[in-house]
């Protein structure tokens, strides 16, 4: 196995392109190293991206947020500005594992690991985040919702990697929220999760995005749940309609951590609660 730690994205792209065997990008390593130790992957090339300065950049501005692929999750919570602009994205990132895990792991690694239960992914999708992808032919931007194809599968080419994820400008009177259910308070993965990002005008929801995690092979965008709350002040009827849409969008697995019936029910509860948190953060009152 070859280990490389290039200092530019250009060098990283050419190393990936010239490797004919199994190449794996290494960010925090909190997924990759576990899988290597378990013998689930046997890389010919491990490409560490943490020495690439441009990938260590976290730039937070009202006009947009740039989260480099080598930025550890802990840094997101340390930015007061980011916490106030995108509280849902930050709370999702800061639910990953523990302090020790967050000191290493990245949200881009969380996305590329492609777990249906990944915490940051529903929040990034609800935020309208784009992935900045680097490959031999240059750079391209795609919506984060287009990156994960299924458990462990992404749409990235074998010679591509993600330089950063970018959050859009924050609209006035808008906010996001992320909630997950786990049997334990931490060091557990979501049984169900929900992210909501919404905008208000005179206390009425004018735009919304609702995304569920851990209830299908990929995070699920639920347009019907968003439609149920747009044009309302989140009265009970709108919230119940929203919860029903969340339940209808579920296609979960049945395992020891939750039955299909249980996950489906909890999806409605969490969708509803996340909407209420986002609504209050955006300045809404009931
Ligand atoms: C004890 C423990 C607890 C955990 N708890 C949680 C939890 O609560 N919630 C949760 O969602 N996850 C959890 N995880 C999983 C893991 O910590 C997260 O998925 C984490 O965000 C992965 O980030 P990383 O930087 O460590 O990724 P890595 O392990 O470095 O990489 C993960 C995958 O993404 C690829 N990759 C990484 N960066 C890039 C890039 N820039 N471009 C292309 N591909 C890339 C790698 O090749 C690899 O396939 C936990 C893991 C452990 C060990």
- The C-alpha atoms of residue 85 and residue 269 are separated, in whole angstroms, by 25
DSSP 255: B
Domain final residue, candidates 167, 197, 229 = 167
pLDDT band at 269 (very low <50, low <70, confident <90, very high): very high
Alpha carbon 218 to chain centroid, angstroms: 11
CB of 9 closer than 6 angstroms to any ligand 1 atom: no
CA of 199 relative to ligand 1 center, distance in Å: 31
How many CB atoms neighbour CB 21 within 10 A?
Answer: 10
Q: Quick check: 24 and 45 in contact, CB under 8 A?
A: yes
CA of 44 relative to ligand 1 center, distance in Å: 19
Q: Name the pTM for this structure.
A: 0.97
202 is in which domain, residue-wise? 174-281
Instruction: Specify the pLDDT at position 188.
Output: 81
189 and 156 share a domain? no
Query: 13 in a domain, yes or no?
Result: yes
Report the domain count for the chain: 2
**Residue 187 in this model has a pLDDT that exceeds 80:** no
99 and 16 share a domain? yes
25 and 89 share a domain? yes
- The C-alpha atoms of residue 102 and residue 257 are separated, in whole angstroms, by 24
Domain final residue, candidates 110, 145, 167 = 167
Which pLDDT tens digit goes with each residue over 83-121? 999 999 999 999 999 999 999 999 999 999 999 999 999
CB of 34 closer than 6 angstroms to any ligand 1 atom: yes
Six-digit token string for 213: 């995690």
Instruction: Specify the pLDDT at position 183.
Output: 84
CB of 41 closer than 6 angstroms to any ligand 1 atom: no
pLDDT band at 256 (very low <50, low <70, confident <90, very high): confident
Average pLDDT over residues 118-138: 96
155 and 207 share a domain? no
CATH number of the domain to which 37 belongs? 3.30.465.10
195 and 269 share a domain? yes
Q: Quick check: 258 and 213 in contact, CB under 8 A?
A: no
Smallest CA separation from ligand 1 atom 31, residue:
109
CB of 106 closer than 6 angstroms to any ligand 1 atom: yes
- The C-alpha atoms of residue 211 and residue 101 are separated, in whole angstroms, by 24
Ligand 1 closest atom vs CA 34: 53
**Residue 186 in this model has a pLDDT that exceeds 90:** no
Query: 102 in a domain, yes or no?
Result: yes
96 and 8 share a domain? yes
Query: 286 in a domain, yes or no?
Result: no
Share of residues in the chain with pLDDT > 70 (%): 100
Pocket residue to mutate for ligand 1, from 42, 49, 68, 96, most atoms within 8 A of Cβ:
96
How many helices and strands (H and E) does the chain possess?
11, 14
Query: 178 in a domain, yes or no?
Result: yes
- The C-alpha atoms of residue 213 and residue 198 are separated, in whole angstroms, by 18
104 and 246 share a domain? no
Q: Where are the alpha helices (DSSP H) in 113-229?
A: 120-127, 223-229
CA of 112 relative to ligand 1 center, distance in Å: 7
Instruction: Specify the pLDDT at position 233.
Output: 97
224 and 108 share a domain? no
154 and 218 share a domain? no
Which pLDDT tens digit goes with each residue over 13-49? 999 999 999 999 999 999 999 999 999 999 999 999 9
Domain final residue, candidates 130, 152, 167 = 167
């Amino acid at each position: 196995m070859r280990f490389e730690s290039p200092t530019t994205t250009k060098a990283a792209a050419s190393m990936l392109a010239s490797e004919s065997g199994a190449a794996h990008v290494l960010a925090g390593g909190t997924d990759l190293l576990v899988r290597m130790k378990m013998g689930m992957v046997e890389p010919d090339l491990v490409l560490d991206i943490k020495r690439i300065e441009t990938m260590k950049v976290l730039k937070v501005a009202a006009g947009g947020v740039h989260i480099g692929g080598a930025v550890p999750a802990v840094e997101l919570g340390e930015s007061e500005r980011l916490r106030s602009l995108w509280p849902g994205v930050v709370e999702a990132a800061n639910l990953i594992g523990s302090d020790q895990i967050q000191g290493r792991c990245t949200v881009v690694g969380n996305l590329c690991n492609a777990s249906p239960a990944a915490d940051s992914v529903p929040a990034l999708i609800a935020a309208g985040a784009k992935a900045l992808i680097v490959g031999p032919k240059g750079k391209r931007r795609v919506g984060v919702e287009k990156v994960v194809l299924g458990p462990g599968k992404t749409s990235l080419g074998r010679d591509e990697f993600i330089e950063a994820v970018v959050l859009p400008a924050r609209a006035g009177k808008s906010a996001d929220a992320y909630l997950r259910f786990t049997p334990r308070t931490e060091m557990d993965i979501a049984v169900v999760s929900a992210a909501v990002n919404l905008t208000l005008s005179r206390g009425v929801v004018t735009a919304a995005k609702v995304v569920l995690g851990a209830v299908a092979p990929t995070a699920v965008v639920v347009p019907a749940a968003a439609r149920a709350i747009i044009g309302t002040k989140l009265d009970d009827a709108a919230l119940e309609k929203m919860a029903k849409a969340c339940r209808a969008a579920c296609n979960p697995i049945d395992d020891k951590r939750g039955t299909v019936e249980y996950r489906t029910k909890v999806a409605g509860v969490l969708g509803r609660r996340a909407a209420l948190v986002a609504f209050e953060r955006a300045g809404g009152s009931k």
